[in-house]
A and B are shown apart, each in its own frame.
Chain A
Amino acid sequence: MGGIQELIAFYYFGIEINSSKIQTVTMEKIADYMYALDESAIVAITDQKGIITYVNDNFCKISKYNRKELIGQDHRLINSGYHPKSFIRNLWTSIANGKVWKGEIKNRAKDGAYYWVDTTIVPFLNKEGKPYQYVAIRFDITDRKKGEADLNRSLKEISDYKYALDVSAIVAITDQKGIIRHVNENFCKISKYSAQELIGKDHRIINSGYHSKAYIRELWTTIANGRVWKGELKNRAKDGTYYWVDTTIVPFLKADGKPYQYVAIRSDITERKKGEAHIKKINHQAIEHGRALESKNRQLVDFCNIVSHNLRGPLINISMLIDFTDNSESEEEKNEIQSKMKPVVNHLMEVFNELVESIQVKQDTGIAADKVCLEDCLERIKVGFETQIKKYQANIGADFSKAPLVIFPQKYLESIFANLISNALKYKSPKRNPEIYIESTPVSGATVISFADNGMGIDLDLHKQHLFKIRKTFHKHPDAKGFGLFMIKTQVEAMGGDIWVESQPDKGSTFFVKILNGEA
């Protein structure tokens, strides 16, 4: 303990003590302090040149040198070479000027191992104010330093991850209520909001309103239950534009398993979504084109059938009639055969004209649509049927209040009214006076006009397929030609509409005409 006694002497150098009692008590106290210090700290004393004059046991233990090896040696014996020269110079400047120096130093033990010490160097000054020795008190902080290094490494790793994430993804952190607590640069860039505008706001600030409530509810249920949610979201930027993000939301849980925050990692998939929409559109167009082609093809087949059935028939008759006339020997027979010729030619002419008319409708897809008042249209058509209406005591009622106007070629609309009213009168029930009721109803994107009668009706089980075909008749009637329904179907379909019928034999028929809401 000689060293310590010495140290006490140094410490109290220049202090004047009068009372020997006080001196004794003080000396005891000091000895206690010194003992404590010796036990806890690494202590060394050097002279003003840095030559070691004293080391305690702790010093020997940590430096792995024995006392003999240390005393009289330059303090640089345990220099690790770790610290820059400026650091060492700064230390020496401080203590040489009589100032206490504190700092962390890395030293090298005898076996080459390094150790860190928290160091306080106290210079002791002579009467001239110059240091004549230095007392260095050190504490082993090697473990702490190692912990720090580990921590730094982890921190570095984390910050590397964060950097990688920040440059690659759109990141936001919200609390458990959905309030934004953190956003990265990418988030600001895509949402066009600044970080200040976002932080503290509800996450709904970027809600596009595109997704169904059920979809959003499913998202919240998933993350509120501590599960990761993955999905695609459409968001709205500050300027009102929309963007799509592939989103992963990771809930972070408290000890009780309840989330305290959510980290949302997104990537921009707007372009992909646009591509998808484009492909969808193209597919849709292709299907539409396919349908249009199919319809054209069907019309072509229909037309071939019409020509085959309706033109070839009369032509055969004419050719047969001519053959018979040529081979006939009696004048009487010749005349009889010739008398048959005229109606056949007339019939051929009629069918031919009808076909030309229907082709014109199909060709004339560019026909101008007019804004037509249904009430006016009905009045105009009724004039033409006045005689028949009176004769059959027919009653025509109408209600166009729900959809008074349609955009449709007037010529076609009049043709529809005329043909359907004409049919209703032509095929009236022999048991009752004709009752016709016409009504217009708006449906989504279109108007449906219904023509209901109480006539003979049509057996749809038998005739459904042929109802709107040319030269098809369903009742024995001298004026039945099988052209009216064919023609109005052609007209309605040329304008993108539809026509269909509901009917019961002996009860009546209702024809429905669907007219698309076009532009005049």
Chain B
Amino acid sequence: MNNIKNLTLIDDDEVFVYLTRKTLNKTNLVDHIRVFENGLDALNFIKNNLGNQDNLPEVIFLDLSMPIMDGWQFLDEFSRLKLDLSKKITIYICSSSISPDDVARAKSISEVSDFIFKPITSQKLYDIVDSL
């Protein structure tokens, strides 16, 4: 089982971030966690580190409902950066939404690996690491 070196959490919900961080720490599956509270901040970080792709995450947990730039808008912008990315970044949508419309829409986006319904449990993390 390989550890995840860099994982990025894009979510504006402080409590959820706090709890997920705790869960991740417990599993010891992730070396480094980076948090952005909206899509734009995350996008800017990626853009600024295209020259130093070691800093970029292998896995992104992306919330959908966020201010400034939501998850959908982030995915849209992210797909435009693809050509400049040599590193494989796996994106999981991680939302409290259980709307079938959201799930269907997420599945239609090639950048999205899967749709995770909140909360993120340890078991789900193990499964994700296994599948990488």
Contacts and interface: CB of A to CB of B under 8 A. Distances in A.
Interface string A35-77: 0000000000000000000000000000000000000000000
A316 B99 contact: no
Contacts of B98: 308, 312
B19 A476 contact: no
B92 to A, nearest CB: 16
Contacts of A462: 69, 73
B104 interface: no
Interface string A267-305: 000000000000000000000000000000000010011
Given A308-B102, A319-B119, A466-B70, 12 more contacts: A305-B97, A308-B99, A309-B97, A313-B65, A317-B13, A317-B15, A320-B19, A340-B18, A472-B67, A472-B70, A473-B68, A476-B68
Contacts of B102: 305, 308
Nearest to A471: B65
A474 B67 contact: yes
Interface in A455-491: 462, 466, 471-476, 480, 482
A321 B18 CA distance: 10
B80 interface: no
Interface in B14-59: 15-16, 18-19, 22
Main secondary structure, interface of B, reads loop
A344 B102 CA distance: 24
Contact of A309 (B19, B22, B96, B119): B96
B118 interface: yes
Interface of B: 13, 15-16, 18-19, 22, 64-65, 67-70, 73, 95-99, 101-102, 118-119
Contact of B19 (A308, A317, A474, A480): A317
Contacts of B70: 466, 472
Nearest to B65: A309
A322 to B, nearest CB: 11
B1 to A, nearest CB: 23
Nearest to B12: A473
Given A340-B15, A340-B18, A344-B15, A304 B68 contact: no
25 contacts: A308-B96, A308-B99, A309-B64, A309-B65, A309-B95, A312-B96, A312-B97, A312-B118, A313-B118, A316-B16, A316-B118, A316-B119, A317-B19, A320-B119, A324-B22, A340-B18, A462-B73, A466-B70, A471-B65, A473-B67, A473-B68, A475-B67, A475-B68, A476-B68, A480-B67
Interface string A299-341: 0010011001110110011011100100000000000000010
Nearest to B39: A462
Contacts of B64: 309
Interface string A335-358: 000001001100000000000000
Interface centre among B67, B70, B101 (most CB of A within 10 A): B67
Contacts of A471: 65
Contacts of A324: 19, 22
Nearest to B13: A313
Contacts of A312: 96-98, 118
Interface string A402-434: 000000000000000000000000000000000
Nearest to B40: A462
A471 B64 CA distance: 12
Nearest to A473: B67
